[in-house]
Amino acid sequence: MPASESFRIPKHRSHVPVARQRVRKTLADWGITDELADAVTLLANELVTNAVTHCKVSHSQIKVELTLNGTELVLEVSDPDRDRLPRPHDSTPDEEGGRGLALVAALADNWGCRQEPYAKCVWARFRLEGAHVPATL
């Protein structure tokens, strides 16, 4: 049976560190504390920051979900602005932002987005190597 953890934060930049800390704690509780934990935490930070920055629905919440299923870890970040799907962006060296999805593509084994009835979800999948697979949950 897969292990799963989900939580919501208010759509405000000040709550991004809370999401990052919750992801890091969940991974540690599952026994994932190495480079994979660093990559997942970094991508959670990027995806939550994107949701907070680009979601135009007032007074909304961002949902973060982690699922550990066998040899796969899935990170999902959802927000209620279902019609504003993320698009990769080629940033110039002078731009301060716009590299988040490039990081996701570089660090995740697979990623994408989907529209749900009342939200959009951006997801990233990670294959667990033998050394990463927790012994017990």
pLDDT digits over 76-120, tens only? 999 999 988 877 666 555 655 556 788 899 999 999 999 999 999
Contact 29, 53 (CB under 8 A): no
Closest CA to 108 of 128, 126, 91, 130: 126
**Which pTM was predicted?**
0.88
Cα separations in angstroms, 71 against 20, 80, 126, 127: 22, 30, 8, 6
> Which domains, and CATH codes, for the chain?
3-127 (3.30.565.10)
